[in-house]
Amino acid sequence: MTVFPSETDNRLLFEYSNALAEENKFIITFISRDVYNDENLPEPVAGIQTFYENQFSAKGNKIHYLEYKIHDNFPILEPEEFNKTEAIKYKQILR
């Protein structure tokens, strides 16, 4: 198994990554929708704030964190339901 950490200010990317992990039954080892207000955050993540995280946090954006274990040598399935509903929401945001 490979451990895959993902940290982003992009809510859509975070929700997609979470849906991908759930669709493929990856083992989610940690999830946070607001890194800098989460008391249970692992130390390596909590102790490092990048330049961009600092910028986005200052604007009021939450930083999301997802860590999961990927099964090696298994095909990865796209979360179909997410693609339909979130693609529509994303297109509406861009207008």
Give the 3-state secondary structure of residue 27.
strand
pLDDT above 70: residue 32:
yes
CATH topology of domain 2-94: Rossmann fold (3.40.50)
Residues 18-44: b if buried by 16+ CB within 10 A, e if exposed: bbbbeebebeeeebbeebeebeebeee
Q: Does residue 88 have a pLDDT over 80?
A: no
Q: What is the pTM of this model?
A: 0.76
Q: Per-domain residue ranges for the chain?
A: 2-94
Residue 91 has pLDDT above 60, yes or no: no
Which backbone phi and psi does 45 adopt, to 5 degrees?
A: -80, -45
